[in-house]
Structure 1
Amino acid sequence: MSYALVTGAAKGIGKAIAAELAQRNYHLLLVDLDDTSLQETATALVGLYHVHVHTLHQDLSQPDALSRVTTWSSRWHDQLSVVVNNAGYGINGAFENLTLEEQFNIIDVNVKAQVGLSYAYIPVLRRFPKSWLLNLASTTAYQTVPYLNIYAATKAFALSFTRGLRYELRHSPISVSALSPGSTDTDFVNRARMGGSTRKLADRFNMTPEKVAKIAVNGLFKGKAEIVPGFVNKLNAFLPKFFPKPLVEKIAANIYEQREETPAVIITPG
């Protein structure tokens, strides 16, 4: 009996990854801040795939989050061979117009939680002949993104951290991968109250969470270092290096700059 742990699993990409793993007969340990949606997801997955699903309602930005998650999961550590650090979010707005507290909170979730959970579960994953660690980055990791500045910076950290960790663990049984999705068709656009032009642009390039999850899990089990789902997203990830940085930044800024009629909003692409 094998278990997989997925953070940010109540909705979106995290939920879809959990479903993809359940289809492969993994029992699930699911963590999320949204307890209601988390319970709904767990019930649905049990009904569809007849796997065991255990849930933990936890805000990963809290100081005691790491100890709470690892203490809760400890009873399944002898069977836990997959860990997915999916949880993360961002805030759309100018750096100086957003509070320092909320921007530190992004760093707590996107960086500190991912690093802490990776550190905590490496000894667990070493117990198996083969095991897998997937960290969520983003296509924003490959460039500077004004007005989504802190989010993009944390994703650049996640990508660099995961690349380095993969090398350090190359002789271990743990296969480490980074997932860098682009625009994905979740309900984060509605929650974010994003402007009409940004919505229209996202709609043109959206992938479904299910498609992202299938590519992610297939890539994970194939041992890929970096998984960028979709041809357009691959272009978005790799083309910026061939263009002048000011041009790339201007294009990104035109997408995310807040107009007068559009307030700063929270983006939760997980």
Structure 2
Amino acid sequence: MNLQGKWTLVTGASSGIGEQFARQLAEKGSHLVLVARSESKLNNLASELSKKHGIQAKVIALDLSKESAPSELYQQCQQLKVDIELLINNAGFATHGLFEQVSGERQHEEIMLNVAAVVSLTHLFLPSMLRRNSGTVINVASTAGFQPLPYMAVYGATKAFVLSFTDALSWENRERGVKFFAFCPGSTDTDFFKVVGTESASVGKKDTPERIVKLALRKLAQGKTYFVPGMQNYMGAQLSRFVTRKQSLRIVGGMLKPR
């Protein structure tokens, strides 16, 4: 996948996995549209990457959990006259705890960001990729998408949606010039668990964003349609193939139960 001089849009680009996508793609010569809520962090990153790699980096500060935000983002890209070759739907967050005790407003925002924004942005940017017969969409799912998650019920359901959605579109577009790739990391050393508000939602050894993004880009270049980094994560994602649904819920629920 040659991105030299082409445009990549990364949501959730101010830190963690999104920031690593931006850094590693800038190194490959891709221009960037960086999207997140924190304008100051995005400006610092854009300035650094532009100077270091000689690429263009545009900053769009938006809260993609707001219903109108995806269309606003698309319109701003149109005004900037950038054709997005690689769309990375990375922005997302989780909630943790007994379902009825977690803020309903916060869970609604979670669904809007993790699901609705992914669908809307894909729907908005896909047609131009199809017209060019060229483009790629990376949707960041999670190992959470492979089985229900007691105490993180909404998050697990959103990531199951992203995984199913991406797989379906990968098949639909397999002969139309556009690739779809579901990236499914496990516990990663980012601010994710600070946002969740608990470390008890962390399962297994944390990987580094640098390593897993590098591996994801390699797997994408090899033509894979999804990727789970780490053998432990991969085996965990396959858990439902080897145990009953009730057993899976008991195991995962035991891991995630609030302490």
Q: TM-score of the superposition, structure 2-length normalised?
A: 0.92
Measure the CA separation in 2 of the matches of 1:114 and 1:82. Answer: 14
**Residue aligning to 1:247:** 247
Quick check: 1:221 aligned with 2:221? Answer: yes
Q: Which residue identity lines up with residue 209 of structure 1 in the other structure?
A: P
Quick check: 1:42 aligned with 2:70? Answer: no
Aligned residue among 4, 8, 12 for 2:12: 8
Identical columns (%): 34
Structural mapping, 1:17-56, within 5 Å: 17-56=21-60
Measure the CA separation in 1 of the matches of 2:81 and 2:164. Answer: 27
Q: Which residue identity lines up with residue 235 of structure 1 in the other structure?
A: M
Measure the CA separation in 1 of the matches of 2:81 and 2:206. Answer: 36
**Residue aligning to 1:262:** none
Matched residue SS, 2:43: helix
Structure 1 position 75, deviation (Å)? 4.1
**Residue aligning to 2:76:** 72
Quick check: 1:232 aligned with 2:236? Answer: no
Structure 1 position 253, deviation (Å)? 1.6
Structure 1 position 100, deviation (Å)? 1.8
**Residue aligning to 1:91:** 95
**Residue aligning to 1:265:** none
Q: Deviations over 1:206-241 (max 9, x none)?
A: 110011111122222333111111222111111332
Closer, same or farther in 2 for the Cα pair 1:14/1:62, shift >3 Å?
same
**Residue aligning to 2:205:** 205
Q: Deviations over 1:16-42 (max 9, x none)?
A: 011111111000001102223222222
CA contact (8 A) 2:150 2:249 kept: yes
Structure 1 position 117, deviation (Å)? 0.3
**Residue aligning to 2:128:** 124
Closer, same or farther in 2 for the Cα pair 1:115/1:191, shift >3 Å?
closer
Matched residue SS, 1:31: strand
CA contact (8 A) 2:135 2:177 kept: yes
Structure 1 position 135, deviation (Å)? 0.7
Matched residue SS, 1:145: coil
Q: Deviations over 1:40-86 (max 9, x none)?
A: 22223223322111011100111210221001111455542111111
Q: Deviations over 1:173-224 (max 9, x none)?
A: 10111110001111333444424xx38x65x511100111111222223331
**Residue aligning to 1:173:** 177
Q: Deviations over 1:119-166 (max 9, x none)?
A: 000112124343211111100100111011100000000000111111
Structure 2, unaligned stretches of length 5 or more? none
**Residue aligning to 2:192:** 188
User: 212-221 or 50-59, which moves further after superposition?
Assistant: 212-221
Measure the CA separation in 2 of the matches of 1:191 and 1:161. Answer: 25
Q: Deviations over 1:83-122 (max 9, x none)?
A: 1111111101111111222111111001100000000001
Quick check: 1:257 aligned with 2:231? Answer: no
Aligned residue among 108, 111, 114 for 1:107: 111
Quick check: 1:141 aligned with 2:145? Answer: yes
CA RMSD of aligned residues (A): 1.7
Matched residue SS, 1:235: helix
Q: Which has the higher contact order (CA 8 A, sep 6+)?
A: 1
User: 57-66 or 220-229, which moves further after superposition?
Assistant: 220-229
Closer, same or farther in 2 for the Cα pair 1:125/1:22, shift >3 Å?
same
